Structure 1
Amino acid sequence: VEAGRHPYTGRMGTLSPDDHSRVDEAMKTAHVEELAERDFMQISDGQRQRVMLARAIAQDPRVLVLDEPTSYLDIRYQIDLLRILRHLAKSRNVAIIMSIHELELAQKSADKVICVKDGRVFRAGAPEDIFTRETIGELYGLKHGTFNERFGSVEIGRPHGDAHTFVIAGAGTGSAVFRQLIRQGKAFYAGVLHEGDIDCELARDLATECVAERAFEPIGDKTIARAKELLVHCARLIVCPSAFGTINARNAELVEFARSHGIEVMRVCEGASEDSHLEWEE
C-alpha cells in the first residue's frame, strides 16, 4: 500500500508523516488494516483485491480504472468491494470506471453503463434504461432463456412440450416450485396471479402460460374462466399458498374445480426450500 505513495516521494523514496497518514487512511477505507503485517502472497484473492484497491486509493486518484475487479471473488467480497467503490465515488468524488460481467452487480452499483459488443459501443445509458429484457437479450444474443429486469437474473427458459401441471402461487410462494419443475423439464401453467406480484413476474418467464389479473383487483369471471380452461387439461394442481386472501380468494374455486374433475390436488409441504428437493402432499 505504501507503494501507492511513490509518485509523491522524492529521489530517496522516503515517506513523510503525511504519506504514512494517507496510507493508514487508505487501508482503513479498504478494510485491510488487520492485514498490515501479513505476507501478500499468503492472503486470499479477495483480500488481495482489497489490498490492491488500498494501494490505488493511497495515490489519491481522480480516476480509478478497474478490470473485472469482482471476478473470482465470493459474494461477500464482491459486496465489500462494491460498497468501498461506491463510498469513494460519493465521499471523494472519484470517477470509477470498471469492466464487469456480473449483470446483477452492474445493475445495482453503476451510475452509468456502457455495453460493448463486437468491439464497439452497443448502447450506453442509466442502468434502468440498459437492463431491460430486450436490450440484454440483444446484447448477448439470447435465443434460449430471458433476462428478468426486476430480479436482475437470467432464467433458462420454459421447457418444450404440453403442460400437464397447474400451479397456484402468489407472494413468492411459487418460485421454488417453478424452478423445480423447470429443472425436471416439466412444462406448467401458473395462476391466478396478480400483475406486479413476484411470482407473476417469474411465471411469465417460465410458465407455458401465466393467467394474471390486474394488480390489486379481485379475480374476475373472465380470468377465472381462462384458468379453468387450462386446468381441465392438467393431471395435477399444485397449491403453494397456505391460505387465500381477499383479492385471490377465487383461487379456492380452482381447487374445488380440480377435485370435481378428478385432477390430483397437491399442496407444498411447509418448510420446503428451493435448495432442497421439494416434496408434495395431498
Structure 2
Amino acid sequence: MGEKRKSQPKELSAKKARSQKQSTKDSTGKAATTEPGHTAIPYPKSVSGSSFTECTAKLTVTLAPMYSCDHLAGIHEALNNMLLHYVPQVRGVVLAYSKVKPRSDTALMFFDSPYGQLEVSARLLLWRPIAGMTLKGQINVQSPDHIGMLLWDTFNASIPASFIPKDKYEWRPFNDDEIAARALPTYNQTDAVGDGELEDESGNNSEADVAMPVLGGNDGDVPASPFTSGNRYGSGEWVVKGTSQSVGSEGCLEFVVVDVIRANEVLSVTGALR
C-alpha cells in the first residue's frame, strides 16, 4: 500500500489564507483601491522638489580640426549640440549653459584621429524628472488607451489607461453633436490670391491687408493654430466617474511620474493619475 499523503500544517495553511486576503499596498502604506480584474497602480514614493536643477559639470568635448586655433568656438559648438538632448554624464536634458571654462590649454589627440579631446567645466541648467515627482502637462490627445500630454511645450508625457484609477475616472465617448461643437472654424486660404491681394466680388485683385488670427496680445504673435489648448479632438475624453467633468483644469492635468524612459537622447515620461 502506498504512503498516505501528509496534510499541510495548520500554521502554513493559515499564513496562505492571510496572504490571499491581504490587500495590495502602495509605497505610502495605504491600501491601493482596485476593482475586480484591475491590478494596483504602482505608485512610487513621493518626491518633492522641481524637475529643473542646476549643476557645475566637468565635460569632455570633441573639437573638430577647424577649431584647432579657436578652442572656445569649438567648445560652444559642442555645447550647443547638447541642448535639448539627454546627456548621460549629467543625467539630464541640457537646457542652457553658462560660465564655460577650459580646464586645459591644449586638446589631446589619440592615434590617427584628427579630432581633439578637451576637458571643460560649465554651469548647466538641466531637466531631470524623477519617479515620484508631481508634474503638470498640457493635454494634447485622449483615447481609451492613454492620455497624451506636452510638458512646457517641449517634452512628451503619457498616462496609460492601466495607470488611471477606474474607481475615480472613466472613458466617455463623444456623440456626433459634441464632436461638431468642438470643431474650430477653418481659415479659408483659397481666398488669398497673393501677398496682400484679395479677390473682390467683381473678380479683380485689390490690395488689402490679410488678417490672420493670433494667439495672445504680445509682440511677436504668431498665427493661431487650429489645435489650440481650449479645444479637444478625438472620439471621447476621460471624465470623473459618474459625472461629465473632464480630467484636468483648462486642458492641464496633474499627474505622478511613474517612470522616465530614455530613447537615445530623448526623454519621455510615463505618469499615473491619483
So what's the TM-score if we normalise by structure 2? 0.22
Rg larger in 1 or in 2? Answer: 2
So what's the TM-score if we normalise by structure 1? 0.22
Structure number with the higher strand fraction is: 2
